Structure 1
Amino acid sequence: MAQLPFIAVEGPIGVGKTSLSKKIAAHFEFHLLKEIVEENPFLGKFYDDIEEWSFQTEMFFLCNRYKQLEDIDKKFLQEGKPVVADYHISKNMIFAQRTLKEDQFRKYSRIFDILTGDMPRPNMVIYLHAGLDTLFDRIRMRNRDVEANIQPEYLHQLSEDYETFMDHFENTHPDIPVIRLNGDNFDFVKHQSDLDYILEEIKAHMNKGEVIK
């Protein structure tokens, strides 16, 4: 059965999730859901000392994303209004598995399952990926203070984690369309033709009846 569009744009840090989400929202007149990033008071400390500050950082993100999805469900999805988000709630587990100690991860997983068990999940995913040079170029361009100390090793591991996660996601959710885009080859900010291609891909999936307009 076709569903109201709830699109998630996902990918590693710096790949352009928010920029693309904004353009999708403007083109299709969808509500834009943006994740809270710089407001996380632990994030700068996290990049300085991942082991020390990972649990606090991930719990802050989880609680805020839970609240965002709860609000989105009540104010938009239940009212028949489409949404595009610059994250998928499952991203929390990607980061948690990479950064948390084993005992912390067990606690975190239980909390995650409780909070998100009945939350709405996106029914279309756009997955952006890119090489480290592209990611670091874009991170430098947006010049966020909290991202100044991101290490290449961490970003490389995270990119690999995303690839593993998306492969698993496609295998376990064959009913949810995934549009994969290589950020090394697509620059939808500078090139309208690249953006047009992405918008047409989204429209094609909606026209197939996988999600309704």
Structure 2
Amino acid sequence: MQYKFITIEGNIGAGKTTLANLLAKKLNTRLVLEEFSDNPFLPKFYKNPSQYAFPLELFFMAERFKQLKDVLQPDLFQQTTISDYLFTKCLLFAKVNLPEEEFKLYQRLFDIILQQLILPDILIYLHAPVDKLQSNIQKRQRDYEQQIPDSYLQNIQDTYLNYIQQQNLITLFIDASNADFLHDEMHLQIILDALNRKHLPGITRISLP
């Protein structure tokens, strides 16, 4: 595997963790999964966003940094690692969730921390329409997610797309409208085949039949 640090991203409910687990098993790699359930502010945020957005985002940033810093240490065998989140996710969600002055402060902290982490060799971005996201969210039955409005998911989606179009990271942009990685082996194989090819920096678009 030529890509030593593979990151999977996408909106809430896009299927990041499912794909990360399947790829890590197929490729026999180290797996890093976001520990979002440990954030005590998450259920509170969905009930009262304006009050809990800043502590929510600070907690996520601190936890993600600690996890990636601990895991992504250079080792003798240069083990391949798959993560189901990109650290820049911190900034993207903060941009949506925080008022301007709080976001400026948050961004200053983010920029300092980002310098201490390595960037992924390749980003897999799962793009799905909002109705598909909502369907996936309903299926996984996390109580605090069940009332997420379409407008919030669309705002997150737009923020991701804007970021991807501006950065120069090697990015596999997957149309996940029909994705079923658990039950359709062809969908998973398409991703595996793409990871075995060399890609130039920028966006490579891939559709799943």
TM-score (norm 2): 0.90
Q: Specify the alignment match of 1:13 in structure 2.
A: 12
3-state DSSP class of the match of 1:185?
Answer: coil
Q: Specify the alignment match of 1:39 in structure 2.
A: 38
Q: Distance in 2 between matches of 1:49 and 1:21?
A: 31
Does residue 60 of structure 2 align to residue 61 of structure 1?
yes
1:151-166 alignment to 2 at 5 Å? 151-166=149-164
Tell me the number of residue pairs that the alignment of Structure 1 and Structure 2 aligns: 199
Q: Distance in 2 between matches of 1:16 and 1:205?
A: 24
3-state DSSP class of the match of 2:75?
Answer: helix
Mark the runs of 5 or more structure 2 residues left unpaired by the alignment.
201-209
Q: Distance in 1 between matches of 2:38 and 2:148?
A: 17
Moved over 3 A (4+): none
Q: Specify the alignment match of 2:95 in structure 1.
A: 97
What's the CA shift for 1:180?
A: 0.9
Q: Specify the alignment match of 2:198 in structure 1.
A: 205
Q: Specify the alignment match of 2:203 in structure 1.
A: none
Does residue 187 of structure 2 align to residue 194 of structure 1?
yes
What's the CA shift for 1:185?
A: 2.7
Q: What whole-Å deviation, never above 9, does each CA across 1:144-191 have from its counterpart, x for those lacking one?
A: 12212211111111111111111112xxx2xx3211111113222221
Question: Structure with the greater relative contact order (CA < 8 A, sep ≥ 6): 1 or 2?
Answer: 1
- 1:114 maps to a residue whose letter is I
Given that residues 124 and 174 in structure 2 are in contact (C-alpha distance below 8 angstroms), is that contact kept between their aligned partners in structure 1?
yes
What's the CA shift for 1:78?
A: 3.2
Q: Distance in 1 between matches of 2:123 and 2:171?
A: 5
Q: What whole-Å deviation, never above 9, does each CA across 1:48-106 have from its counterpart, x for those lacking one?
A: 121111101100100000001110122xx434111000000011111011111111111
Q: Specify the alignment match of 1:148 in structure 2.
A: 146
State the Cα RMSD in Å. Answer: 1.7
Q: Distance in 2 between matches of 1:142 and 1:53?
A: 24
Given that residues 38 and 146 in structure 1 are in contact (C-alpha distance below 8 angstroms), is that contact kept between their aligned partners in structure 2?
no
Q: Specify the alignment match of 1:211 in structure 2.
A: none
Given that residues 3 and 195 in structure 2 are in contact (C-alpha distance below 8 angstroms), is that contact kept between their aligned partners in structure 1?
no
- Give aligned-pair identity as a percent: 33
3-state DSSP class of the match of 1:32?
Answer: strand
TM-score (norm 1): 0.88
Given that residues 10 and 87 in structure 1 are in contact (C-alpha distance below 8 angstroms), is that contact kept between their aligned partners in structure 2?
yes
Mark the runs of 5 or more structure 1 residues left unpaired by the alignment.
209-213
- 2:197 maps to a residue whose letter is A
Higher normalized strand content (fraction of residues): 2
Given that residues 5 and 81 in structure 2 are in contact (C-alpha distance below 8 angstroms), is that contact kept between their aligned partners in structure 1?
yes
